Amino acid sequence: MADIDFLLDGGGDGCPTVLLAHGAGAPMDTPFMAAIASGLASRGLRVARFEFAYMAARRSGGVKRPPPKVDLLQAEFLSAVSRFACEGPLIIGGKSMGGRVASLVADGLFAEGRICGLLCLGYPFHPSGKPERLRTAHLETLKTPALVCQGSRDPFGTREDVAGYALPPAISLCWLEDGDHDLKPRKTVTGFGQEHNLEAACAAAAGWAKELAQESAGKSRSRGRAPGG
């Protein structure tokens, strides 16, 4: 498998790390991804972004191909986790498709103690305009602690849509007012722009991630304590 380049923001000894993949049609350095990385880093997290091979190939003049089958994307995400050097707690996730792929590999990594959480930014619960084609079967049994930051009018899963899904207690939802799939609201409706919702998403995600990291560290200490100690 080809080498993977990581784009890093923030950092510090032992701080939680969030490994993020991009959406289906845009790379890891879009304004959306940059704003999320900056917002999380400014709140004490280390953020690493990477690209799937089909997207990275576009940078060298490759053919603009659509994403490959999800099985291949899962293998690439697992490879990114293995190749990324991370000493502290690790959370995986991504924007739209990137978050979906992360969600498909999360439970295996969580069971192995390699990650402590899953962060999805605009989860594609179904294709736009096709609410009957749900992508939620694996989510219904998810064990990995997860946070989904979702615009309330996201065409891939509105607040009304998601209210009818059988999601487990492991999944928390952060709803961004009037946000679309990029969390962007209609300023004429809300009085504020996309930056407001991006900041709100980063604040919620950072607080959640730090709590997860503390819980993970506590469990690690408990496992390392001698019986009767």
Q: What angle do CA 225, 228, 229 make, to 5 degrees?
A: 45
Q: Is the model's pLDDT at 196 over the cut of 70?
A: yes
CATH number for region 7-224 = 3.40.50.1820
Q: What is the pLDDT of residue 2?
A: 60
Q: What is the pLDDT of residue 228?
A: 44
Can you tell me the mean pLDDT for 214-223? 71
pLDDT tens digits along 87-99: 889 999 999 999 9
Q: What is the pLDDT of residue 229?
A: 39
Q: What is the pLDDT of residue 85?
A: 81
Q: What is the pLDDT of residue 207?
A: 97
Give me 162's structure tokens.
């998601």
Pairing of strands 17-21, 117-121: unpaired
Q: Is the model's pLDDT at 225 over the cut of 70?
A: no
- CB 154, CB 163: distance < 8 Å: no
Which residue shows structure tokens 């080498």?
Answer: 3
Can you tell me the mean pLDDT for 202-219? 90
Report residue 62's pLDDT band, with 50, 70 and 90 as the boundaries. low
Where in the chain are the domains? 7-224
Q: What angle do CA 143, 83, 224 make, to 5 degrees?
A: 55
Q: What is the pLDDT of residue 219?
A: 72
Which amino acid belongs to residue 169? Answer: P
> What stretches of 20-173 show up as alpha helix (H) in DSSP?
31-41, 53-58, 70-83, 97-111, 159-163
**Chain-centre distance of CA 4, in angstroms?**
18
Q: How far is CA 61 from CA 29, 33, 64, 65, 74, in A?
A: 17, 22, 8, 11, 24
Q: Percentage of residues in the chain with pLDDT exceeding 90? A: 83
Q: What is the pLDDT of residue 88?
A: 87
